[in-house]
Structure 1
Amino acid sequence: MTKLLMILAHPHTTVPSKSLQVAATFKASYQAAHPQDEIIVRDLFKTPVPALDSTTMTAWMKQKYGKPLTDAENQQLTAHNTWLNEFMTADKYVFVNPMYNHFLPAELKQYIDVTAVARKTFKYTANGPVGLLTNKKALHIQAAGGIYHTGEQTSVLSMDLGATYLKAALGLYGITDMTQLFIEGADQNPDTAAEIVANAQTQATTLGKTF
């Protein structure tokens, strides 16, 4: 059975999220076109990403040298492994987020940190790192108030550091089949905001059938 993992990195607010709306459209379309597939939704704002803190670092060092772990350290590593295994066993990925100051939300960056594990998602070789999650694919759905990827605004493409970083991180894992769906300009052009979202939902419907 094919497993689709949706990673939602958007806070829950009273104002409807454009990225979450488009993601919901994609999910409905995907379910209709792939009824046999399993869909797992990991909401990073409902269930916080396991921390990379002093407890984690100490637990890793103890584990490396075969020293006993405290209960708190065991719980931390168990959480890390649970999230990592969920990520590794998925076949397809959908990342959903708003742009925060030209980057990703901190929760999504922390998710990447938890899944970027040597000998699990990539390995080091004499010729540099090599990804271990080949033959998988990803979709990135991102909303931004300005325009960074279309029309005459392509000169500011380099300012979308988040999308560039996510693509590079997945490339490290060996996931090079990546599609990007950008919902851009609703704040810059509020009169056409509804049209912008509608166009993105049309794209999401098409992608849901073919992804």
Structure 2
Amino acid sequence: MSKVLVIKAHPNTSKSLSLIVGKEFINSYKKSHPDDEVIIRDLYAEEGVPPLNDVTMEAWRKQKFGEEMSQEEKNLLNQHAEWLDELISADKYVFINPMYNHFLPAELKQYLDLTAVAHKTFKYTAQGPVGLLKSKKEMHIQAAGGFYHDEKHQGALPDLGSIYLDNTMKFYGVDKIDSIYIEGADAVPNQRQAILDTAMEQARTKAKEF
């Protein structure tokens, strides 16, 4: 049995194409893999992503030198550990997000900062850093109003967010990376339904193989 961690980095909007396709992927996955455990981590939930701020830095310093921490510092480090352990324990990752200005939402960037921990998701060696999350899979589901992955319609700027996410996963050791990009619904609004239909079919097909 595999554990699937769905990282939903998207505000809850009813017409979001990435959420619609993401839901189809998850439902199709559950049908194809009924014994697997699916966990959804909503980065836009009320509690938000645990921060990396002044309190965090001071708590890490105190932890390193064995100094007494305040309750706030202890609670924050416990949150960090909980979120990190959740990522490490999963076998497969599904990221669902919109493109924001050629990049990822801030909440997803913060999540990646939170989980980039030496000796947990990667380690340093004489030959350079080595990822520790071996033999795991990533699926990235992202919607954008324009075209960024279609050679016929690519814009002037690349999709920097997907490049960053995929490279971070590779840095962690994840070696099976796939994606579903839902693109062009704003650029060619008369093709919105056709774009969605194509992505939904991809979601159903790829969920079976994931």
**Same fold by TM-score, threshold 0.5 exceeded?**
yes
Residues 119-152 of structure 1, C-alpha deviation per residue, up to 9 Å, x if partnerless?
A: 0000011111100000000000010000010141
SS of residue in 2 equivalent to 1:48: coil
State the shift of 1:176 in Å: 2.1
1:1-211 alignment, distance < 5 Å? 1-13=1-13, 15-46=14-45, 47-154=47-154, 156=156, 159-211=158-210
State the shift of 1:159 in Å: 1.8
User: Match of 1:64, as an amino acid?
Assistant: K
TM-score, normalised via structure 2 length: 0.97
State the shift of 1:155 in Å: 6.2
Q: 2:81 & 2:16 partners in 1: Cα distance?
A: 30
Q: 1:102 & 1:21 partners in 2: Cα distance?
A: 21
SS of residue in 2 equivalent to 1:159: coil
Residues 140-182 of structure 1, C-alpha deviation per residue, up to 9 Å, x if partnerless?
A: 00100000101412464x5210000001100110012100110
How much identity, in percent, do the aligned residues show?
A: 53
SS of residue in 1 equivalent to 2:153: helix
Q: 2:144 & 2:20 partners in 1: Cα distance?
A: 14
TM-score, normalised via structure 1 length: 0.97
User: Match of 2:80, as an amino acid?
Assistant: H
Q: 1:189 & 1:155 partners in 2: Cα distance?
A: 14
Q: 1:175 & 1:115 partners in 2: Cα distance?
A: 13
User: Structure 1: 5+ residue runs without aligned partners?
Assistant: none
Q: 2:155 & 2:187 partners in 1: Cα distance?
A: 16
Q: 2:176 & 2:57 partners in 1: Cα distance?
A: 32
Q: 1:134 & 1:164 partners in 2: Cα distance?
A: 19
User: Structure 2: 5+ residue runs without aligned partners?
Assistant: none
Q: 1:119 & 1:177 partners in 2: Cα distance?
A: 21
Count of aligned pairs between the two proteins: 209
User: Match of 1:161, as an amino acid?
Assistant: L
After TM superposition, where is structure 1 displaced by more than 6 Å over at least 4 residues in a row? none
Q: 1:116 & 1:82 partners in 2: Cα distance?
A: 14
Name the stretch that deviates more: 198-207 or 147-156. Answer: 147-156
Residues 73-108 of structure 1, C-alpha deviation per residue, up to 9 Å, x if partnerless?
A: 000000000000000000000000000000000000
Q: 1:190 & 1:132 partners in 2: Cα distance?
A: 43
